[in-house]
Amino acid sequence: MSDTPETDAMRKLTWKSSQPPVNPIPGEFAKKLERERDQAREALREAIQFRDTTLSGYDLDAWLKAAGLKP
């Protein structure tokens, strides 16, 4: 998953060494990661709901075979 450049940079700084970090992860950074995680989960839920409502009346196996995507 692609995060924001800011959280990517902080993640690299925080987990780069093989030793546990001396300073705990800043609360603000943890909250940003949690927001990004929650946004990704919501986007996945919406995609699944869209898929389910869009393809509910179709025979997916027959469609995949007709498209040449399934033997």
Domain boundaries, the chain: 9-14+23-66
pLDDT-based confidence at 1, cuts 50/70/90?
very low
pLDDT tens per residue across span 14-30:
665 566 656 677 888 88
Residue-wise pLDDT for 41-67, tens only, equals 999 999 888 887 877 767 777 778 888
pTM: 0.50
* pLDDT for residue 31 is more than 70: yes
Burial of 22-55, coded b for 16+ CB within 10 Å and e otherwise, reads: eeeeeeeeeebeeeeeeeeeeeeeeeeeeeeeee
